[in-house]
Amino acid sequence: MKWQDRRLLDLFGIEHPILQAPMAGVTAPQMAIATSEAGGLGAIAGAMLTPEGLRQELQMVKQGTGRPFNVNFFVHEPPTVDAARDARWRQRLATYYSELGVAPDVKGPSRNAFDAAACDILLEFKPRVASFHFGLPDRTLLKRLKAARILVISSATTVEEARWLENEGVDAVIAQGAEAGGHRGMFLVDDVARQAGTMALVPQVVDAVKVPVIAAGGIGDGRGIAAALALGAAGAQIGTAFMLTPEAKTGPLHRAALKQANDNSTTLTNVFTGRPARGIVNRIVREVGPMSADAPAFPLAAEATQPLRGPAEAKGSTDFTPLWSGQAPTLAREMPAGEVVAKLVTETDAAFRRTRG
**24-70 per-position pLDDT tens digit:** 999 999 999 999 999 999 999 999 999 999 999 999 999 999 999 99
Q: Are residues 36 and 158 in the same domain?
A: yes
Q: Are residues 39 and 153 in the same domain?
A: yes
Calpha distance 118→126 (Å, rounded): 12
pLDDT tens, position by position, 246-277: 999 999 999 999 999 999 999 999 999 999 99
Q: Check residues 264 and 111 and name the one with the higher pLDDT.
A: 264
Q: Say if CB 259 and CB 237 are below 8 A apart.
A: no
Q: Are residues 207 and 302 in the same domain?
A: no
pLDDT exceeds 80 at position 110 = no
Quote the pLDDT of residue 105. 79
Q: Are residues 210 and 301 in the same domain?
A: no
Q: Give the structural domain span for 12.
A: 7-76+111-250+331-355
Query: Model confidence at 357, in pLDDT bands (50, 70, 90)?
Result: low
pLDDT tens, position by position, 184-241: 999 999 999 999 999 999 999 999 999 999 999 999 999 999 999 999 999 999 999 9
Q: What mean pLDDT comes out for the span 148-171?
A: 98
Q: Are residues 219 and 305 in the same domain?
A: no
Q: What's the domain count of the chain?
A: 2
Could you tell me where the beta strands, DSSP code E, fall in 89-241?
Answer: 129-133, 151-156, 172-176, 182-183, 213-216, 235-238
pTM score, whole prediction: 0.96
Q: Are residues 198 and 136 in the same domain?
A: yes
Q: Are residues 58 and 178 in the same domain?
A: yes
Domain presence at residue 129:
yes
Q: Are residues 103 and 29 in the same domain?
A: no
Which of these, 13, 64, 56, 17, lies nearest to 37 by C-alpha position?
64
Quote the pLDDT of residue 190. 92
Domain presence at residue 33:
yes
Q: Are residues 299 and 173 in the same domain?
A: no
Quote the pLDDT of residue 79. 87
Which of these, 58, 23, 53, lies nearest to 277 by C-alpha position?
23
Least confident among 108-112, 309-313, 318-322: 108-112
Quote the pLDDT of residue 80. 87
Q: Are residues 194 and 271 in the same domain?
A: no
Cα–Cα–Cα angle for 185, 191, 195, rounded to 5 degrees: 60
Q: Are residues 64 and 203 in the same domain?
A: yes
Least confident among 98-112, 133-147, 209-223: 98-112
Domain presence at residue 257:
no
Quote the pLDDT of residue 330. 98
Calpha distance 39→16 (Å, rounded): 6
Q: Say if CB 177 and CB 202 are below 8 A apart.
A: yes
Query: Model confidence at 109, in pLDDT bands (50, 70, 90)?
Result: low
Domain presence at residue 99:
yes
Query: What is the share, in percent, of the chain residues with pLDDT greater than 70?
Result: 99
Domain presence at residue 261:
no
Domain presence at residue 260:
no
pLDDT exceeds 90 at position 111 = no
| CATH number assigned to the domain comprising residue 39 | 3.20.20.70
Q: Are residues 186 and 101 in the same domain?
A: no
